[in-house]
Amino acid sequence: MPNKHYLSYFKCTVNHFRTIVEYPLVFANVVNMKLEIYSDTATTLIPSNDRAFNYGDGFFTTMCCLDQQIHLFDLHIQRLQSDAKRLFVEISDWSGLIKAIQNTAMSAPRQCVIKVHISLGQGGRGYSRGAQSEPRALIKVSPFPDSLDALSLSVGQGYLSEQSMLAGIKHCNRLEQVLFKRQADVLGLDDVVCLDSRQHIIETSSANLFWFANNTWHTPSLNHCGVNGVYRQFLLNMFTYYDMDFLVGDYGLIDLINAESAFACNAVRGVMPIKQINVSHNNQQTLSLNQQQTLQEQTTLYTNNQLPALQTLIQQFMLIESNK
């Protein structure tokens, strides 16, 4: 039975970004971290022995930047610090990286996406990190994606790998997500619902999932796989702040199918209402016999009556967080 709980990140010790912009960016003061800033129009050469390129040895975060301000900036930094700690990455000067990110935002287009990618730098052949390896940060500015209406989803074929050492981390091994997104593209859909090998709902290829049922908001546990998204964490913080009923736990597809309202979310697009989930697009190899008999070729349509009130609370809590 899912238990109500609050997922906390590794405690962040950085200042709020609005104070950071008061200080000039000086790259010479960044110690033990190579910083490069590039945009889509620039060419950045990645060394052939870069560990993120060769082994996926790195992690990243993707941020929404509007009017030179990064939404949920503190949560992005907290996740970077948490992921660094769990992946045994030592970064000596977080303040230098934070200033570089904020400096990028100040000169960025009015609405854009900023991606911070941290590699374990250059290393020799083999999986062992060399003693001379230094973390390498790349900050990339991209155009904001086109807006999406309510999502049409199917159920992904295959399973997400379960690995507790990596669960929740936004690491650079994203081939599973590439293949799941390809399934959605082939079907002409927005995305697919990804399950683990126990047939528990985890996420979509690029977003976390929430739904409303029995007067309670629900979201899957990420103890074995999946990404603990920044917007997911923001919503859990909000549910806790307003003392709202929510559950984090293990759920089957039927729980999502029977929900009153459902949405996907990530830090770039925020809340994306789910219009429908069409199980008939799946060849049902992913589903158990019991689920196949229950769901058959069902298409679920959501009313999403709870979302307007939720969006109002989100706007209020955004203001509360930005004024801290």
Catalytic residues: 62, 170, 203
d(CA 282, CA 232): 27
d(CA 251, CA 241): 24
d(CA 223, CA 36): 33
Residue 255 burial by CB count (10 A; 0-12/13-18/19+): exposed, middle or buried?
middle
Bin 270: left if φ > 0, else alpha if -120 < ψ < 50, else beta.
left
List the structure tokens of 95.
């303040």
Helix axis angle for 307-322 and 230-241, nearest 10°, is 90
Bin 8: left if φ > 0, else alpha if -120 < ψ < 50, else beta.
beta
d(CA 85, CA 82): 5
